[in-house]
Structure 1
Amino acid sequence: MIVVADDDDGNRNAIDEISAEVLNQRSKSTCLWIIKQDWFQGYGGKNQHRMYRTSAATYVAKKPSVHTMPASFHCRSHKFLEHLGKCGMYRNHSLNTALDNSKV
């Protein structure tokens, strides 16, 4: 567990182990945040039952490495969205024959 403390000047200090005495010595204007290290792990998580484990859960459980991360990004053209912006979305002008169901 990491405890981050803001002092009166706005400086943040990380404290590895904190005792009740240290907490009592802090001024009233000091803000403390308790940050658990497993909050920032992001990968792995709880072990799931094998029967309910999906291939996506198996893929996400692995941490990214240099070999699995893409080295570059190639964006697609915005031609279609630019056309929609000029002309507008397709509108369906057909006759609505559905009955209205009252939920009251």
Structure 2
Amino acid sequence: MDERTATELIERARAETARLAEALARQRDEIVAASEFTSADDEHDPEGATIAFERAQVQALLRQAQDELAALAQAADRVRAGTYEVCERCGGPIAEGRLMALPATRRCITCADRR
């Protein structure tokens, strides 16, 4: 895969993940704002456990999106360094199909399977 193609692939994934992160942040903010007008006692409020679960779930998804954005930034650094298609574990090649499916991946399929 040439540098331009890899850069475009990573940028598309970054833009999509950034949109997801923004949507999740808005959803989290809406949950927090809505819960300001309810009882602060999650344990005894029949809706409290649900609100707390939804807030935690959205926060976890947001954290995953933020981690993916960081991983994509690292992938862009690897493109510039010329190591994008090199497995960080074994030093072998990462298949183009794997990079197309997972632009931020750092390991070849063999090393990923060893996990």
Specify if TM > 0.5. Answer: no
- TM-score by length of structure 1 reads 0.27
Bigger fraction of residues in helix: 2
The structure number with the bigger radius of gyration is 1
- TM-score by length of structure 2 reads 0.26
